[in-house]
A = this chain, B = another copy of it.
Amino acid sequence: MHPPELLKGTLQTIILKILKDNGKMYGYEITQRVKELSAERILLTEGALYPTLHKLEADGLLQTETVMIGKRIRKYYSLTSEGSGLAQERVAEFIDFIKTMTTVLKIQTA
């Protein structure tokens, strides 16, 4: 597991990019996909995930579609066009951040 402080501020970026890559997804599915892609190093907690999804929806960046699977609710999230733009922006910001950090710390990531 990564020290949780480093993850701070990356949650929105992760959610937006995962949705951009995968189309519509529901909350639990997002946690599992991130867990899988990160080899269990990033475990999104529900207490962080759901409030963030709700906020992004309230801000018009995500749209939802609720589906009943048997008696269980599934709430699918997908990017609005505005959200798609933000996803790209956030990823670019993150890349820029990494570049700055590698310079400051004098490290190699390759």
B105 close to A41 (CB less than 8 A): no
Instruction: Name A's B-contacting residues (CB within 8 A).
Output: 2-10, 13-14, 17-18, 21, 34, 37-39, 41-42, 91, 93-107, 109-110
Secondary structure dominating the interface of A: helix
> Which of B3, B37, B107 has a CB less than 8 Å from the CB of A104?
B37
A95 close to B110 (CB less than 8 A): no
Known contacts A17-B105, A104-B14, A109-B109; A97/B37 CB under 8 A = no
With both beta carbons as reference points, the residue of chain B lying nearest to A105 in the complex is identified as: B17
> Which of B91, B104, B110 has a CB less than 8 Å from the CB of A42?
B104
A14 close to B103 (CB less than 8 A): no
